[in-house]
Amino acid sequence: MKDKLVITKKNPRGVDGYKIFSIRIRDDTLDRINALSDRTGRTRNELIGMLLEYALENSEVSE
Q: Domain-by-domain residue ranges, the chain?
A: 12-63
What is the percentage of the chain residues whose pLDDT exceeds 70?
A: 98
**pLDDT, tens digit, 9 for 90 and up, residues 17-34:** 888 889 999 999 999 999
pLDDT at 15 over 90: no
Reported confidence tier of residue 9, pLDDT bands at 50, 70, 90: confident
CATH of range 12-63; options 3.40.50, 1.10.1220, 1.20.1070, 3.20.20 = 1.10.1220
Q: Which pLDDT value is given to residue 1? A: 66
Q: Is the dihedral of CA 31, 36, 39, 40 positive or negative?
A: negative
Q: Which residue has the higher pLDDT, 50 or 14?
A: 50
Question: What is the average per-residue pLDDT within 36-54?
Answer: 95
